[in-house]
Amino acid sequence: MVLRDVLMNLSENELLNTAAQKYGLKLGAQSIVAGTNVQEMIDSVKKLNANGIEATIDRLGEFVVDETVATEAKDEILDVIDAIHTHRLHAHISVKPSQVGLDIDIDFCYDNLREIVEYAEQYHIFVNLDTENYERLQPTLDILKELNKIFDNVGTAIQAYLFRSKEDIEQLKDCRLRIVKGAYQESEEVAYQDKLDIDINFLELIEYHLLHGKFTSIATHDHNVIQHVKRFVADHNIPNDQFEFQMLYGFRTDMQKELANHYRFCTYVPFGEDWYGYFMRRLAERPQNINLVTKQVFNKKTNTLLAVAAGAFLLGRLSKRK
């Protein structure tokens, strides 16, 4: 728990994020981030598609507080939509509202997201609004509600560690939803803190939306959850075209290919220069993720202080330049 807290704090450190962008994909991030530009992302998605795996593409970026930067991010997401269409990729889009202006002005953010969703609609591309930390959740759902009045190619994610998620999923049963456990630090006032409580709520949310919802994306690397879902859909005669399994790019790749042989499967594909926060949250989620990254980079086990050392290294390098 201490290590997780340290990593989560590092993920929100703007100085380290700036330094990470200067030094590129170092210290293992290249194994879980599909490049820094559109062409590298296209190449990665084509490889997934060749194995029967779809993709949801996240042009990395979040917590933007400048309108110019938010507009640039919106334009780059439109370029991703063009790339999906032009290269005939089996893929859709994931967008963090804070990347396109949620922390600046909700109407400004809505206008940017409406442009993205409207542009994607003409190519029959789905757009998922990623839910972020708790303080940004209700504004995100408010924007989704307004978009759903006009478009049917937009949905969001439901985070199982939040107390309110059962109510939210009932209100959003007509949306395509991604069900996740949650990846941010939240207080005990709004979120379960115990892993068992989160797991139980996760399964209950999945089952509810499978039975009552539109389309369900089940985002997990947990083989126990996957086996439970397999039994549940079989017992309730839920067709394969009503749900998909999702995993993150670079994790459990053999299992991804195996699941894709029998079910709809989608990989969450992040790319871009603003990779640091995403990378650190993935390390914070599960200690196994650190082992995976270190094995892929060094082909040997290193200790679980890698991420802390990475932050210190980047900070030290930046300080020496001053």
The residues carrying an active-site annotation are 130, 178
Radius of gyration of the chain (CA): 19
- Of the chain, the end-to-end C-alpha distance in Å amounts to 34
The β-bridge relationship of strands 243-248 and 127-129 is: unpaired
Of 153, 147, 186, residue with least CA distance to 5: 186
Burial 79-109 (b: 16+ CB within 10 A, else e): ebbebbbeeebebbbbbbbbbbbbbbebeeb
Sign of CA dihedral 26, 32, 33, 39: positive
